[in-house]
Amino acid sequence: MEDSNLFDFEAERRRARDVVNNMEKGGKIVRSAFCWLCGAMTDTAMHHPRYSKPRCVTHLCAACHTIADRLRQARESGKPLELKQFDWERQSLEGN
């Protein structure tokens, strides 16, 4: 059912965020000073390409984070976007 999928997704999302928050508090991960996609030297946020891989994050500026979140949403909905310029994210997933 769609409702139970949504519930599982939310639980997985919370777990992934907890894992990264704890890693950051414990000094096991440090936020990048620049966006890994466009190189902007602005405040970056950590992005999970997949919540099922909680320790795998990329560091993105707000603009790139919005795009990356859309890509993940598209992938999880079963309607992946075919955008060659975002191959970097697919490659980061295949490497893990």
Stretch that binds Zn ion, among 1-9, 11-19, 22-30, 53-61 (CB under 5 A): 53-61
Stretch that binds Zn ion, among 12-20, 21-29, 55-63, 84-92 (CB under 5 A): 55-63
Cα 39–Cα 19–Cα 91 angle in degrees, nearest 5: 45
Radius of gyration of the chain from Cα atoms?
A: 14
Among 7, 2, 96, smallest CA distance to 48 is for 96
Residue 35's Cβ-count burial label (10 Å; 0-12, 13-18, 19+) is buried
Binding test (CB under 5 A) with Zn ion, winner from 16, 20, 35, 67? 35
What minimum distance in Å lies between the beta carbon of 71 and Zn ion?
13
Can residue 41 be called a binding residue for Zn ion (CB under 5 A)?
no
Stretch that binds Zn ion, among 5-13, 49-57, 61-69, 79-87 (CB under 5 A): 61-69
Residue 41 or 93: which CB sits closer to Zn ion? Answer: 41
Q: For the chain, report the end-to-end CA distance as a whole number of angstroms.
A: 29
For binding to Zn ion (CB under 5 A), which residues are involved?
35, 37-38, 40, 61, 64
